[in-house]
Amino acid sequence: MTATGPEFTPRQNEVLASALRLVVEGGEKALTTAAVARAANCSKESLYRWFGDRDGLLAAIVAHQASKVRVPHENDYQLSASAFRERLVTFAEDLLTVLAGDTSLALNRLAIGQASREGSPLGRLLLERGRLRIATRARVLLEAGAAQGHIAAVDATEAYRTLYGLIVRDAHGRWLLGQEPEGTEADFAARANLSVDQFLTLFPPDAQDTGHPAG
Amino acid sequence: MTATGPEFTPRQNEVLASALRLVVEGGEKALTTAAVARAANCSKESLYRWFGDRDGLLAAIVAHQASKVRVPHENDYQLSASAFRERLVTFAEDLLTVLAGDTSLALNRLAIGQASREGSPLGRLLLERGRLRIATRARVLLEAGAAQGHIAAVDATEAYRTLYGLIVRDAHGRWLLGQEPEGTEADFAARANLSVDQFLTLFPPDAQDTGHPAG
DNA sequence: AACAAATAGTACCGTACGGTACGGTTCGGC
DNA sequence: GCCGAACCGTACCGTACGGTACTATTTGTT
């Protein structure tokens, strides 16, 4: 059951924050138990007592940070078309900002680098506690928009994935591979606006009940 | 200058193929010099003579495999609208098939896992010899299509990135994180068709010269 | 046949790192 | 003030791995 989060003591959170900094700055290679102990002013013995082993520490880092993914739970109903569009644009900007951030990139690289192992628990953690939450938030918004006739009423997951593709395209992949996110905030805003325009073009509100917006 | 590829001897290619198998099956952790030497029936000394050090071996693996990215250089002109669309669908299917493949995923994971290092040569290698080639091929196709009036004549790079986003969405990210590509060939074909439909909706041929297809 | 170059196989070295043990210190409970 | 738990800091251990050295064997050349 995992009880939705044993969480950690404040001290342990401090240590995890230090460990996260190491990962962000130097990648997985920099995350040795000795380095964490030194950076966090704690003993290796404590690390092992708290997190079991190195893998447990990695998992704790990801879980700790992913738990900070707080999606704003706003009321999406009774939105005008323009307000709905504004919500989508904000979502797009937030998504780009998060994905281009040091922390997100570092944790994704960490989890992806370990994903060859069977089970790939880090990847699952990131998928379930990071991406899934964001996707859920967006789906709620999209379903509300559909209910109010702002967009075509189709499968929210399909619609969300299309929206994601239009917003992110291949940028995340390029960033993960080391290409600098040259995007300024203004660029992100422009990208967000354009992708939402495109999304609304593909899912126009007038479609009566056809499941395929572009068929 | 790098002379577009010093390439390797047949024997060295054999060794690189063995090394690639190790990476695909066990990730970077499985790629120890001893394991490569054992798997390829060669000596560690030869490995170091040929590839310099472990990083050189990694780079050689990526370069070797990336050099196999052979984009079909077809004649894209004098295509009917339906033939042009068919080309796009084929491209989409090929892209999904490649990205979902074991080898691509393993090499991307490898390069991404190392991308924290400054310079991230593996990432650059993959970007320049893999993604860039594919993008170039697609851009040529798109420019031809635009020249023949099959799609709106806009910046080919922008159009390609949108096409990529519509085809791949967040699937690549999920796969990289360890989620199984549940897609069968039929699923890929359906996805390819739908994404091309969406793309053609966003870049309709009738637009005279507006740079913004959805603005 | 003689020789040189390349290579397989193995043994070896140094180090870095995961994990453990231990002494000294702080801190809360009684 | 006393005790035990938790914890820091450090020292320590075993191993795995990157990289090197050496020998035996093959291969190609003259």
Nucleotide nearest to B43 (CA to C1'): C8
Closest CA of chain A from B6, distance in Å: 24
Q: What tokens does B86 get?
A: 């068919």
Query: Is the minimum CB–CB distance between B169 and chain A shorter than 8 Å?
Result: yes
Nucleotide nearest to B55 (CA to C1'): D18
User: What is residue B212's predicted lDDT score, i.e. its pLDDT?
Assistant: 39
Check: CB of residue B125 under 8 Å from CB of residue B61: no
Give the pLDDT confidence of B44-73 residue by residue, as tens digits.
999 999 999 999 999 999 999 988 888 888
Q: Please, what is the average pLDDT of chain A?
A: 91
Lowest mean pLDDT of A112-116, A203-207, B158-162, name the range: A203-207
Strand C interface, B 137-176, C-beta < 7 A: none
User: What is residue B38's predicted lDDT score, i.e. its pLDDT?
Assistant: 96
CB atoms within 10 A of CB A83: 12
D chain positions with any atom within 7 Å of a protein CB:
7-11, 16-22
Question: Residue A165 is nearest to which of B126, B166, B212, comparing CB atoms?
Answer: B166
Check: CB of residue B198 under 8 Å from CB of residue A152: no
Examine the pLDDT at A183 and tell me if it is beyond 80.
Answer: no
Tell which residue, B67, B82, B88, has the closest CA to residue B142.
B88
**Who's near B161: CB < 8 A, 6+ residues apart?**
A169, A170, A171
Long-range CB pairs of A31-34, under 8 A, 24+ apart, other chains included: A31/A57, A31/A58, A33/A57
Whether residue B172 and residue A169 make contact (CB cut-off 8 A), yes or no, is: no
Q: What percent of chain A has pLDDT over 90?
A: 82
Average the pLDDT over A71-92 and give the result. 94
Check: CB of residue A151 under 8 Å from CB of residue A145: yes
Whether residue A168 and residue B164 make contact (CB cut-off 8 A), yes or no, is: no
Residues in B closer than 8 angstroms to A212, CB to CB, are 194, 197
Give the pLDDT confidence of A130-173 residue by residue, as tens digits.
999 999 999 999 999 999 999 998 999 999 999 999 999 999 99
Euclidean distance between CA atoms A135 and A164, whole angstroms: 9
Average the pLDDT over A52-77 and give the result. 92
Between A199 and A183, residue with greater pLDDT: A199
Examine the pLDDT at B9 and tell me if it is beyond 60.
Answer: yes
Query: Is the minimum CB–CB distance between A112 and chain B shorter than 8 Å?
Result: yes
Euclidean distance between CA atoms B23 and B102, whole angstroms: 10
User: What is residue A88's predicted lDDT score, i.e. its pLDDT?
Assistant: 98
Strand D interface, B 50-79, C-beta < 7 A: 53-55
Average the pLDDT over A39-66 and give the result. 96
Give the pLDDT confidence of B68-93 residue by residue, as tens digits.
888 888 899 999 999 999 999 999 99
- Which one-letter amino acid corresponds to residue A67? S
User: What is residue A72's predicted lDDT score, i.e. its pLDDT?
Assistant: 85
Question: Residue A162 is nearest to which of B29, B117, B166, comparing CB atoms?
Answer: B166
Question: Residue B177 is nearest to which of A123, A194, A202, comparing CB atoms?
Answer: A123
Entry pTM: 0.92
